[in-house]
Structure 1
Amino acid sequence: MIRSTKRRKVSEIRDEGSLDRISSLPDELLGHILSFLPTLSALQTSLLSTRWRYLFTLTTSLSFDDQEYYELSSHGNKTLNTGFERFVSGVLVLHRVTPIQKFSLKLKRDREYASSHLLLWISASILKGVRHLDLYIFYQQISLPNCILSSQTLVSLEIHSVRHKVDLKVPSLVSLPSLRFLKLIQVTFLDAESVKRFCVGCSRLKELVLIDCGLGRDHVGISTLALEELTVYFCRGHVEFDAPNLASLSYLCSWSDVDVDMTLLLKKSCSPSRVEIGFHSYEFHGPLAEYVLDLIRGAQNARELILTFNALKLLTRLDDTRIPTYSKLKSLHLDSCCCNTWKYVTSWLTKSPQLETIVFNEGIADTCRTEHKHEWRPSMELAPFSSNVKTIEVHRFEGGKMELLLLNYLLENAGVLKRLILYKCGTMTMEEELEVSKELLMLPKTSTYCTIELK
């Protein structure tokens, strides 16, 4: 009797384990689960059983990738283009959920698609009340439909163009009241006024990312009250931002020998707490240095300042006494620090009374170019400084003579320094590391609390 009961319980457990509990879930929940998959993978679940045949039409996100389609579909190369177009259009016709959370269209293959299809797909996503729209277009050259710029539901918009820049024709009225995040890569505005109209229509935009974009040739002033984060990399245009709530600015620019094809300035109302500024230029004189100084002045209230590429080198063309005081600066990051730029480093140390951390991302004696490099003595030629710096980080440390001299200068003047962190370069051998460690221990330190770490 006892054995029979045990067998029955074991049999019941086995039967329960063989039940398809997932299929018994409500349709809406299954559609939500499938939303985490690419649409092609969600579509493939229709082959499981009649129960799953149309569940893919209930997803809250649609993601189309022609490269993935090529890899996973059974179509041959000759019918790939037509097959992908039919696949996307078919899913959009059958799809039943409105609104949708995300629509992603990635055209990565080196193939042309009919412009009518692209405009139809994008317009369909807008009609479905999409909140997050992500377009990645390789090779194809299209003009985006105007309905994108009048969407009442869009929260984030990303347009990434490769090879061909997307021409953004901005209508007279732009209305994107829900847009919070905008990222444009290789998108060209017809003129500066188009940029202004576009930004005016994004009244609640909090984060703006522009990479390799054309912003027109004329100077334009943009007022955006809600903007908190601004990233501008390698664009062309002349823009002045009035953004009183701006908290973070990242600006990288590349100039030719003659033309300054990109300038970005901040109104006095802007006081970002984090500022990253970098330049790549083939000449370091004339108006370029003055422009860099103007931009640096706009960051006087920054708590974190990052100077990359040749920003520091451009400033060496100016009198170091013109560097403003940074009363709130806590962290300073410097790249391409060489012998000729060290007096400017000292200026920051003396003009930043709240500075606690300084980071040398590319070393402290990298690419030293001076006729008297071998005779240069930092402790004798650089002015002494007094600061509240507590941490100094040096990356790409090689343990050379010039580096040790500069470390000696820093340790002699940094009276409250607590940590000197040296990140060794990858080519340093074990024997070299031991020798450098001995020399580091012999360096005099004004701060009795300072520790030196070689990592």
Structure 2
Amino acid sequence: MIRSTKRRRVPEIRDEGSLDRISSLPDELIGHILSFLPTLSALQTSLLSTRWKYLFTLTTSLSFDDQEYFDFHGIKTVNTAFEKFVSGVLTLHRVMSIQKFSLKLKRTCDYACSDFLLWINIAILKGVRHLNLYISYQQISLPNCILCSQNLVALQINSVIHKVDLKVPMLACLPSLRVCKLCKVTFLDAESIKRFFVGCPQLKELILLHCQLAADHFQISALALEKLTVYLCRGHMEIDAPNLASLSYLCTCSDVMTLLLKKSCSPSTVHVGFHSYEFHGPLSQYVLNLIIGAQNARELILTLNAPKLLIRLDDNQIPTYSKLESLHLDFCCKDTWKYVTFWLANSPQLETIVFNMGLLHAATCGTEQEHKWRTSMELAPFSSNVKIIEVHQFKGGKTELLLLNYLLENARALKRLILFKYGSMTIEEELQVSKELLMLPKTSTHCTIELK
């Protein structure tokens, strides 16, 4: 047999991991993938190859951040480069319908107002559904196209430096708007407020942060509203929202918005925060009235100093929370424990109670020595259906153990006592606390104590 001397051709074996499978995808799919990146990052892919040169123009989401742009290019002085960048991308963009448009103007630059309004107009013309604006203009009237958009589902306006003075034009119609978040926005007149909310018949979530309502008193009707958040605002608002399910409210002595809910409003989740060390006067009474009025709530959250307002209540002022299932408390002190006892004894549906800042907070109650009181003598016994008790920032002090003993003696249905230890607890302290916890008597035969 004579063998051929010709060298046989060996098939080339390719490493499948090195194949560029992404480039073989359809243009529209690549554009969708690039939509999850900031526009500046998506633009950089145009340098990969000729194939990728204009794929960034097919994104369905546009996100511009001047701080990110200047940091990337190492620009420290104010110039027009960012304006040219945004205008250039919008000129090349080929998608007629976009999902999201985000514009963040964080630098104290004097951007031309005409450019800013033009960019927003382009986004609205492309049928944007989610519009996020972070602006540094102190006074600006939003273009009519925003407040007449048929497609806009979510609107977010944030002021970076100053409070934005907002004046709503005569015509406002946002039939698809579901979520609205306003931060550091001032409504210049009562008519602007009224026109804005009348033009949002499907609004389901409203978030007001550091906002100011120029009108002394105004009423709004939001029949579709389900979630309302009011943090550190000023003014007075009376609201009719029969479908309101969640209310979050936070105020201080300097930032107060008195919020009056119509009788038709009965939120199932109520979160009340009060950041003040003054527990007397009209403000504290107003916040206290919010707590008392939450009789139909299933979840009640009292943060910061709100629990201490309970010491102003007389026994005949304490309502019955017949539907309450979950109670969260911050900054409990000796005087507020009387009312904690009331909730435990008179909330028949209560199953979970959470102490977010410990069982006894020294910052609001004084020193440990002042609170070595005998809970069995000063707190009335109770019988409740509470099944879970959570204690955060647990230090294992003597007074805390007394309170745990009181809870374990009375909570006959308790299944879990969960203690989240304070971060500075040493291993030796943890072992000592664990021994003392094991010695505590338990009325419930099914209760477990967990130290985490």
What TM-score, normalized to structure 1?
0.91
Which residue is equivalent to 1:398?
A: 395
Q: Which aligned pairs between 1:55-70 and structure 2 lie closer than 5 A? A: 55-70=55-70
* Residues 450 and 22 of structure 1: CA distance in aligned 2, closer, same or farther (over 3 Å): closer
Shift of 1:375: 5.2
What residue identity is the alignment partner of 1:392?
Answer: I
- The answer as to whether partners of 1:66 and 1:108 remain within 8 angstroms in 2 is yes
What residue identity is the alignment partner of 1:271?
Answer: S
Shift of 1:399: 1.1
Shift of 1:211: 0.7
**Are residue 283 (structure 1) and residue 278 (structure 2) matched?**
yes
Which residue is equivalent to 2:195?
A: 197
**Are residue 54 (structure 1) and residue 51 (structure 2) matched?**
no
Shift of 1:294: 2.3
Which residue is equivalent to 2:348?
A: 353
Shift of 1:261: 3.4
- The answer as to whether partners of 1:158 and 1:183 remain within 8 angstroms in 2 is yes
Which residue is equivalent to 1:122?
A: 120
What residue identity is the alignment partner of 1:290?
Answer: Q
* Residues 430 and 76 of structure 1: CA distance in aligned 2, closer, same or farther (over 3 Å): closer
**Are residue 422 (structure 1) and residue 395 (structure 2) matched?**
no
Structure 2: state its 5+ residue gaps. Answer: none
What residue identity is the alignment partner of 2:67?
Answer: Q
Shift of 1:285: 1.1
Q: Which aligned pairs between 1:8-19 and structure 2 lie closer than 5 A? A: 10-11=11-12, 14=14
Which residue is equivalent to 1:174?
A: 172
Which residue is equivalent to 2:303?
A: 308
**Are residue 434 (structure 1) and residue 404 (structure 2) matched?**
no
Which residue is equivalent to 2:263?
A: 268
* Residues 297 and 18 of structure 1: CA distance in aligned 2, closer, same or farther (over 3 Å): closer
Structure 1 Cα separation of the partners of residues 43 and 370 of structure 2: 67
- The answer as to whether partners of 2:180 and 2:203 remain within 8 angstroms in 1 is yes
Structure 2 Cα separation of the partners of residues 434 and 16 of structure 1: 56
Number of residue pairs matched?
447
- The answer as to whether partners of 2:179 and 2:206 remain within 8 angstroms in 1 is yes
What residue identity is the alignment partner of 1:312?
Answer: P
Structure 2 Cα separation of the partners of residues 454 and 42 of structure 1: 48
Residue-by-residue CA offset, 1:381-403 (whole Å, 9 max, x unaligned):
11111111111111111111111
Greater shift in the superposed pair: 210-219 or 19-28: 19-28
Partner secondary structure for residue 202 of structure 2: coil
Which residue is equivalent to 1:413?
A: 410
What TM-score, normalized to structure 2?
0.92
What residue identity is the alignment partner of 1:115?
Answer: C
Shift of 1:49: 3.2
Partner secondary structure for residue 207 of structure 2: strand
What residue identity is the alignment partner of 1:406?
Answer: L
What residue identity is the alignment partner of 2:437?
Answer: L
Greater shift in the superposed pair: 49-58 or 120-129: 49-58
Which residue is equivalent to 1:72?
A: 72
Residue-by-residue CA offset, 1:96-132 (whole Å, 9 max, x unaligned):
2112111111122233312222111112211221111
- The answer as to whether partners of 2:149 and 2:173 remain within 8 angstroms in 1 is yes
Which residue is equivalent to 1:92?
A: 90
* Residues 45 and 372 of structure 1: CA distance in aligned 2, closer, same or farther (over 3 Å): closer
CA-based RMSD of the aligned residues comes to: 2.5
Which residue is equivalent to 2:450?
A: 453
Partner secondary structure for residue 218 of structure 1: coil
Which residue is equivalent to 1:251?
A: 249
Structure 1 Cα separation of the partners of residues 402 and 448 of structure 2: 18
Residue-by-residue CA offset, 1:273-302 (whole Å, 9 max, x unaligned):
111111112421132343123212332111
Shift of 1:365: 1.2
Residue-by-residue CA offset, 1:128-150 (whole Å, 9 max, x unaligned):
21111111225765442232111
Structure 2 Cα separation of the partners of residues 292 and 48 of structure 1: 59
- The answer as to whether partners of 1:339 and 1:373 remain within 8 angstroms in 2 is no
Shift of 1:84: 0.7
Greater shift in the superposed pair: 24-33 or 56-65: 24-33
Shift of 1:17: 7.9
Structure 2 Cα separation of the partners of residues 20 and 334 of structure 1: 55
* Residues 362 and 77 of structure 1: CA distance in aligned 2, closer, same or farther (over 3 Å): closer
Shift of 1:44: 2.2
What residue identity is the alignment partner of 1:248?
Answer: S
What residue identity is the alignment partner of 1:424?
Answer: K
Structure 2 Cα separation of the partners of residues 424 and 331 of structure 1: 22
Give the counterpart of 2:239 among 234, 238, 241.
Answer: 241
What residue identity is the alignment partner of 2:226?
Answer: E
**Are residue 133 (structure 1) and residue 131 (structure 2) matched?**
yes
Structure 2 Cα separation of the partners of residues 48 and 106 of structure 1: 27
* Residues 70 and 289 of structure 1: CA distance in aligned 2, closer, same or farther (over 3 Å): closer
Shift of 1:350: 1.9
- The answer as to whether partners of 2:140 and 2:166 remain within 8 angstroms in 1 is no
